[in-house]
Structure formats: C-alpha cells, structure tokens
Amino acid sequence: MVYKFLFDIDRCIDCKACEVACKQQNDVEIGVRWRRVTEIEGGKYPNPSRTFVSLACFHCSRPPCITACPTKAIYKRADGIVINDESRCIGCGYCSWACPFAVPEYGSDGLMQKCIACYQRIDKGLDPACVHTCLTGALAFDTPAEIAKIQVERATEKFIISP
C-alpha cells in the first residue's frame, strides 16, 4: 500500500493554513518551505482569474531524487513516503536538480530538506498536518484507489451541478 497527495485546485482558497501547519509540525526553518502555496494570475479586467496551487513533495513512485543522490541519503518507505536522511546528506543538491519540481531545498545548514509527509503522524494513523488542517478539503493523503474515488466523486458532483 502506498500513499499519495491529492490536491484539488477548485477548492484551494490560498489560506496558507497548510503551509503553516507544516512549519509548526516539522519545525521548518524560516526561508525553507516544505509545502508552498502559489498563485497564478490571469485574464483581463473585468474577467481576471486567480488560481492557487498548494505543492509539496509528490512522493513519486520512481523518485528521480533517489536516483540522483550519490550518498543514498534519500530513500522510500514501504508506504511510498520519500524521506531524506539528513545525517547522510552531503549537501550537493543533486536531488533538487533531478526533481522536476525542485522540491528538495537547501536549509541554512547547507543540507537538503523536503516534505516527509509527516510520517510520524502517518504511523499513528493520522493525516499529515497540512491535510489535517485544510479547511476546504483541497488536500488529501491516501492510497491511489481512495484518491481515485474522491476524484470521481467530485467530478460526478460537478457534472450533476452544471451539466
């Protein structure tokens, strides 16, 4: 069984509760963000658009960061969570180059940091802190089957609402 994040772009309201819950849970230093909400602006007045995207590590099934890491500091748990072991990290930054989303970031100590999906909470049967606090249900962390179920449900709802 593996876990993945779900992010629902329709629901996200840019409230940044997820970012701060992550900081609080993992004591992430200022300047580094394991989860980050960004805004994409578009359109032309009076028809502008704003889209918000909350991203963290994707916990890829074939993580390029693991392949790139020369010291095997990054590894994957049986449940799919990708973790970097800071005690092995030499701070070369290859993982960040290899990651299509540049997820691993340098900490002020020169070593890499990234989202660890709050695996201590997962081990207790809890959701990651970001998911736990998300007020709109824009985030979920679950098995691919469960995520597919949520997505299909939501898509169906939309279809019913506006055929």
Partner 1 sequence: MDVRTDAIYSEGRMSRRTFSKLTALGTAAALSGISNVGAYPLEHFGKLIEPAIAAPAEAESVVYGICEMCPFNCGIKVTCDGGIVKSIEGNPNEPHSKGKLCARGNSGEQVLYNPNRVKYPLIRTGERGAGGWKRATWDEALDYIAGKLNEIKGNYGPESIALIQFPTNRMVPLVRRFQKALGTPNYFSSLGTCKISRVVADIATLGGHILNAVDFKNAKYIMLFGRNTFETPATGSVQALSAAITSGAKLVYLDPRYTVTASKADEWIPIKPGTDLAFVLAMMNVIIREGLYDEEFINTYTYGFDELKGFIGEYTPEWAEGITDVPAEQIERIAIEFATTKPAVAHPNWHPKGYESETQISRGILILNALVGNINKPGGIFYPRGVKLGDIKPPAYPEITAKRVDGVPGTYPLVPASHGLWQLLPDAIINEDPYPVKGLIVYRSNPLLGMPDRTRIIEAFKKLDLLVAIDILPSDTAWYADVILPECTYLERDDPPMVIKGKSPKVALRQQCVEPMYDSKHSFWIFKELAKRIGIGNYFDFELDDYINAQLKPLGIDKNYFKENSIWSSDISPELKGLEGMKINTSTGKIELYSKKLEANGYDPLPTFVPPKEAPSGMFRLLHGHIAVHTHANPATFDNAYLNEICSENELWINTDTAMDLGIMNGEYVWVENELSRGKIKAKVTEQIRPDAVFMLHGFGHLSPDLTLTYGKGLNDNDFIKAGADPIGGSCPMSETFVRIYREG
- Residues at the contact surface with partner 1, assessed by CB under 8 A: 10-11, 13-17, 19-21, 23-27, 29-31, 41, 43-46, 48-52, 66, 72, 75-78, 83, 85-87, 116, 119-120, 123, 129, 132-137, 154, 157, 160-162
Instruction: Supply φ then ψ for residue 3, to 5 degrees.
Output: -115, 150
Q: Which of 146, 108, 113 is nearest to 127 (CA)?
A: 146
Determine contact, residues 88/71, Cβ cutoff 8 Å: yes
Instruction: Give the pair of three-digit tokens for residue 147.
Output: 């995520």
Report helix, strand or coil for 84. Answer: strand
In sequence order, the β-bridge partners of residue 37 are 54
Footprint of ligand SF4 on 42-71 (CB under 6 A): 52, 54
54 binds, among ligand SF4, partner 1, none (CB under 5 to 8 A by kind): ligand SF4
Output 5 or 133, the one with its CB closest to partner 1.
133
CB atoms within 10 A of CB 104: 28
CA 155/CA 69 separation, integer angstroms: 38
Q: Does 39 bind ligand SF4 (CB under 6 A)?
A: no
Q: Does 131 bind ligand SF4 (CB under 6 A)?
A: no
- Binding part of the chain for ligand SF4, among 10-18, 93-101, 112-120, 147-155 by CB under 6 A, reads 10-18
Interface residues toward ligand SF4, by CB under 6 A: 12-18, 37, 52, 54, 134-136, 138-139
